[in-house]
Copies of this chain bind each other. A is one copy, B any other.
Amino acid sequence: MTAYGEFRSQYQGALEDSRLIFYGIRYILENYLHRRWTEDDVEKADMFFSTHLAPAAGTYRYPKDLFLKFIRENDGYFPVKLEALPEGSCIHAHVPVFQLTTQGDFAPLCTFMEVLLTMVWYPSAVATLSRRCRDRIEEAFDKSVETGRDSPLLGSRLHDFGFRGCTGVEQSVLGGVAHLINFDGSDTLSAAYYAQFVLNGGEPVASSIPATEHSVMTAWPSERAAIDNMIDQYGDGLFACVMDSFDYAKALGKVLPAVAQHKLDRGGYMILRPDSGDPTEAVLMALQAAEKVFGVDVNAKGYKVPRGCGVIQGDGIKYERLASMLEAVLEAGYSAEAVAFGMGGGLLQKVNRDTMSFATKLSHVVYEDGTPADIMKAPLNAISKSSLPGVLAVKRVDGVPTAFPADSGEVAPEENLLRTVYDCRPVQVNWDKFTQLRRRVNDEWHALPTQADVASASLKAKVKDCLAKLRKRQTD
Query: What residues make up the interface of A, taking CB atoms closer than 8 Å to B?
Result: 1, 3, 32, 44, 47-48, 51-58, 60-61, 110-111, 114-116, 118-119, 121-122, 156, 163-171, 174-175, 184, 189, 192-193, 196-197, 202, 204, 206-210, 214-215, 217-219, 221-225, 234, 236-239, 244-251, 254-255, 258, 268-269, 275-277, 344-345, 349-350, 352-354, 360-362, 365, 373, 375-382, 385, 387, 470-471, 473-476
* B61/A210 in contact, CB under 8 A: yes
Tell me the bound Cα distance from A3 to B214 in angstroms: 12
**Other contacts beyond A61-B210, A168-B170, A170-B171: 10, CB < 8 A:** A32-B169, A52-B196, A57-B238, A119-B167, A119-B168, A166-B167, A168-B171, A222-B476, A223-B475, A247-B380
A56 contacts B269, C-beta separation under 8 Å: yes
Is there contact, CB below 8 Å, between A362 and B276? no
With A and B bound together, what is the CA distance between A218 and B363 in angstroms? 9
B475 lies within 8 A of A196 (CB): no
Chain B residues, CB < 8 A from A47: 197, 202
> What are 9 sample pairs from A and B whose C-beta atoms fall under 8 A apart?
A48-B189, A52-B204, A110-B215, A115-B163, A223-B475, A244-B381, A247-B471, A275-B385, A345-B354
Inter-subunit contact B118/A164 (CB<8 Å): yes
The docked-state distance in angstroms from the alpha carbon of A170 to that of B27 is: 13
Nearest chain B CB to A400's CB is how many angstroms away? 28
**C-alpha spacing A60/B189, complex, angstroms:** 12
Closest CB in chain B relative to A21 CB, distance in Å? 16
Instruction: Name the B residues within 8 Å of A471 (CB-CB).
Output: 246-247
Pick from B197, B258, B376, B475: contact of A218, CB under 8 Å: B376
Q: Which residues of chain B have C-beta atoms less than 8 A from A163's C-beta? A: 115
Q: Please tell me which one of the listed residues B55, B111, B276 contacts residue A209 in the complex, with CB atoms under 8 A apart.
A: B55
Q: Are A344 and B353 in contact (CB under 8 A)?
A: yes
For A188, give the chain B residue with the smallest CB separation. B115
Given the known inter-chain contacts A53-B184, A164-B119, A474-B222, please indicate yes or no for A248 contacting B175, CB distance below 8 A. no
User: How far, in angstroms, from A224 to B252 measured CA to CA in the complex?
Assistant: 71
Q: Select from chain B the residue with minimum beta-carbon distance to A278.
A: B381
- The reply to whether B275 and A379 form a contact with Cβ atoms under 8 Å apart is yes
Given the known inter-chain contacts A170-B171, A362-B214, A362-B218, please indicate yes or no for A247 contacting B474, CB distance below 8 A. yes
CB distance from A325 to the nearest CB of B (A): 18
Chain B residue numbers with a CB within 8 Å of A360 are 164
| Contact in complex: B218, A164 (CB < 8 Å) | no
Are B52 and A377 in contact, CB atoms less than 8 angstroms apart? no
The reply to whether A174 and B169 contact each other, CB–CB distance below 8 Å, is no
- Distance in Å: Cβ of A120 to nearest Cβ of chain B: 10
Contacts known (A362-B215, A382-B277); A207 close to B353, Cβ less than 8 A: no
Known A-B contacts A166-B119, A352-B165; A156 and B221 likewise in contact (beta carbons under 8 Å): no
Q: Are B175 and A167 in contact (CB under 8 A)?
A: yes
Q: A52-B192, A171-B167 are known contacts. Are A352 and B361 too (CB-CB below 8 A)?
A: no
Contact across chains for A377 and B171 when beta carbons are under 8 A apart: no
Determine whether the beta carbon of B352 is less than 8 Å from that of A345.
Answer: yes
B57, B221, B361, B385: the one within 8 Å of A239 (CB) = B57
Chain B residues positioned under 8 Å from A234 (CB to CB): 57
Q: A167-B175, A214-B362, A345-B352 are in contact. Are A237 and B58 (CB under 8 A)?
A: yes
**Given A119-B166, A470-B246, does the pair A51, B204 have CB atoms closer than 8 Å?**
yes
Instruction: Tell me if A378 and B53 are in contact (CB < 8 A).
Output: no
Shortest Cβ distance from A474 into chain B, in angstroms? 5
| A276 with B382, Cβ < 8 A, contacts A208-B60, A246-B474 known | yes
A234: shortest Cβ distance to chain B, in Å? 6
**Contact at B219–A362, with CB atoms within 8 Å?**
yes
Minimum C-beta distance from A89 to chain B (A): 20
Tell whether A206 pairs with B53 under 8 Å between CB atoms, given A219-B362, A222-B473.
Answer: yes
Task: Check if B193 sits within 8 Å of A379, measured CB to CB.
Answer: no
A224 contacts B476, C-beta separation under 8 Å: yes
Do A52 and B164 have beta carbons less than 8 Å apart? no
List the B residue with the shortest CB-CB distance to A254: B475
- Assess the B164–A174 pair: CB atoms within 8 A: no
Determine the residue in chain B with the shortest Cβ distance to A225.
B476
Tell which of B53, B197, B365, B381 touches A204, judged by Cβ atoms closer than 8 Å: B53
Question: A474 and B251 in contact (CB under 8 A), knowing A208-B52, A210-B57, A214-B362?
Answer: yes
